[in-house]
Homo-oligomer: A and B are copies of this chain.
Amino acid sequence: MAEILKLKSPADFIGKQGNGVISFGSGQPDLAPPKEAFEGIDLKRDLRYGLIQGELKLREALAREYAGSTAENFVITNGASEALDLIFRSWGKGAVPAGRQEKVLLPRPYYYSYPPIVEFAGMIPVYTDLVDGRIDLDDFKKKIKGCRAVLINSPSNPTGRVEAIETLREIEKMTQSLGVYVVSDEVYKDLIYERENYHINGDHVITVNSFSKTYCMCGVRVGYLWSADKKVVEDVCEMKTHTSMNTNLVGQDMAMSAMKAPKDFIAKQQKIWLERRDFIYKGLTELGFDLWKPEGAFYVLPKCKNAREFVTLLYQEFKVITYLGEWFGAPNNIRLSYALDIKQIEEGLSRMKQAMKKVNVI
């Protein structure tokens, strides 16, 4: 147990898979990309620098999926991570010389990279605590004042919750009237079990998305942002010119090809995720955990006493990877991804049951 105090971040578990380890850790699909992703890719294409904003054809294909959009509304990035990073950096870059620091509102629990991304940009994260895993509009209204932006994530990693459409509409209106930007991280938009995604709209909205989760190609690193605000697009491209240039061209070609997959590719995936969700939700409930039933994405965030001790024990003695809720702003929880097949989930739950005899978690 010497390592109990050492676990610092999800990075501590990177490369620890294999060798009988069951990983409820990393949030990425274990399923295969659509076969279309590999079709018609010509590696011997022109491999000189591409447009910083991204390949025109890919942006045109995306524009057909976003009503009222053109290719000019998109910037292709190295995954959703880079999109988020560039957005906040392009706002924050003036902050240091001018000595001002601007606030960004983050619902908590949050995806673990949000606070560092905001801070690296020289901005200050402020938090509104979710109630029962959803945005509390009263607290939201108080905290949003004086913020430059709010970053929302529905469906959410780590909560698995989906905000009600009325809440999203209310946020859309409220932020517009206050002149606050909404950055909407919708990387799980195709993984909602209950309804269609609601795409928040307006000149003050920036949507961040990715090919990683929908098309099971996280390692290809192709994401994008959408904005109706021309200045946002220009500022992000200006920043990206210096920090990474164009997004890798072969990955963009693969993303474009993946979009040719038949619509039922996504429906078939959803069916698999739904089965897994039901299985893990039932299993954890039977073990006595208190948790929300996920409405989207592929995460559960059960309450857990002695979380650090339990997560360490699970890994060291039972070869099961789980993440500390504290990395997501939820110190009394643990987070599990259910992006693994039902047999593995079953084995993982059975090991957890054994571990629960050694640590008091309920």
Taking CB atoms, residues of chain B closer than 8 Å to A221 are 78, 244-249
Contact of A93 among B28, B119, B220 (CB under 8 A): B119
Taking CB atoms, residues of chain B closer than 8 Å to A79 are 244-245
User: Do residues B11 and A89 form an inter-chain contact, with CB atoms below 8 A?
Assistant: no
Taking CB atoms, residues of chain B closer than 8 Å to A241 are 9-11, 113
**Min CB–CB distance A8 → chain B (angstroms):** 9
User: Do residues B254 and A43 form an inter-chain contact, with CB atoms below 8 A?
Assistant: yes
Known: A11-B237, A96-B122. A243 touches B47 (CB 8 A): no
User: Which segment, of A49-57, A274-282, A286-294, faces chain B?
Assistant: A49-57
A26: interface (CB < 8 Å): yes
Q: Which residues of A196-218 have CB atoms within 8 Å of chain B's CB atoms?
A: 216-218
Chain A positions 70 through 101: 1 when the CB is less than 8 Å from some CB of chain B, otherwise 0: 00000000110110010001000101110001
Q: Considering the chains assembled together, what is the distance between the CA atoms of A109 and B101 in angstroms?
A: 32
A251: interface (CB < 8 Å): yes
User: Do residues A242 and B48 form an inter-chain contact, with CB atoms below 8 A?
Assistant: no
**Min CB–CB distance A134 → chain B (angstroms):** 25
Known: A96-B101, A248-B221, A248-B250. A26 touches B14 (CB 8 A): no
Contact of A117 among B119, B216, B243 (CB under 8 A): B243
Q: Considering the chains assembled together, what is the distance between the CA atoms of A85 and B82 in angstroms?
A: 13
Q: How large is the interface on A (under 10, 10 to 19, 20 to 34, 35 or more residues)?
A: 35 or more
Taking CB atoms, residues of chain B closer than 8 Å to A28 are 48-49
User: Do residues A216 and B248 form an inter-chain contact, with CB atoms below 8 A?
Assistant: no
Taking CB atoms, residues of chain B closer than 8 Å to A78 are 78, 221, 244-245, 247-248
**Min CB–CB distance A210 → chain B (angstroms):** 11
**Min CB–CB distance A126 → chain B (angstroms):** 15
Among A43, A47, A79, A239, the one with the most B-chain Cβ atoms within 10 Å of its Cβ is A47
Identify the closest chain B residue to A116 (Cβ).
Answer: B242
Identify the closest chain B residue to A78 (Cβ).
Answer: B244
Taking CB atoms, residues of chain B closer than 8 Å to A220 are 47, 248-250
Q: List 15 A-B contacts (CB under 8 A).
A: A9-B241, A11-B52, A14-B52, A26-B48, A38-B43, A50-B219, A78-B244, A79-B245, A82-B243, A82-B244, A96-B101, A219-B248, A221-B247, A221-B248, A222-B248
Q: A11-B241, A116-B242 are in contact. List 15 more A-B contacts (CB 8 A).
A: A11-B238, A47-B217, A48-B219, A79-B244, A79-B245, A81-B244, A82-B243, A82-B244, A96-B122, A113-B243, A120-B242, A219-B246, A221-B245, A221-B249, A250-B250
